[in-house]
Amino acid sequence: MPRKVTKALVREAAPDRVYNNQQVTRLINRIMRDGKKQTAERLVYSGMEKAAKKVKNENPLEVFEKAMGNIRPHMETRSRRVGGANYQIPFEVKGQRQHHLTTMWFVSAARSRKGMSMEDRIAVELVDAFNNTGTAVKKREDVHKMADSNRAFAHFAR
């Protein structure tokens, strides 16, 4: 007898105080350590402002949204066992997972930079993502390349 499939409850993040944007709130919550939300907010807001100054744009939210749009994945691979062999099957990334991967890749890329303060790391990574370069964009390109090279196994998807 088939199991009953239930959908997971998705909690909406409240928009942040300054830009009234949910994606900024997600980034702040991901940057936050040990429950220090004000510190995380300060880091993200000052990083966004520094990035906007570097790209000669007066609106930090536009820079942020374009940078996150350049990181956002469209395809990914999932492992699936078929007939004793594991195949990497390409799938389209949708909705909440797209935002999650974008935020995770951005934060890990910012944290991997060494030799500067966290707000400078955030600013530099935002500028790099805005210009379609940087570690987070490279991660997205690698994932897309993997999905593209495994297109032959797409027929194994349900």
Instruction: Answer positive or negative: Cα dihedral of 114, 115, 116, 117.
Output: positive
Number of alpha helices (DSSP H) and beta strands (DSSP E) in the chain = 6, 2
Tokens 């998807």 locate to 157
pTM (whole model) above 0.75: yes
Question: Topology of domain 22-156, per CATH?
Answer: Ribosomal Protein S7 (1.10.455)
DSSP 113: -
**Secondary structure class of 153 (helix, strand, coil):** helix
CB 72 within 8 A of CB 102: yes
Map out the domains of the chain as residue ranges: 22-156
CB 21 within 8 A of CB 61: yes
Give me the pLDDT at residue 155, please: 66
Q: 76 pairs with which residues across the strands? A: 91
Cβ-based neighbour number of residue 108 at 10 Å: 14
In this predicted structure, the answer to whether residue 8 has a pLDDT above a threshold of 90 is no
Q: Which residue has the higher pLDDT, 18 or 11?
A: 18
Which pLDDT band, with edges at 50, 70 and 90, does 39 fall under? very high
Give me the pLDDT at residue 89, please: 79
Which pLDDT band, with edges at 50, 70 and 90, does 124 fall under? very high
Give me the pLDDT at residue 156, please: 66
Give me the pLDDT at residue 91, please: 84
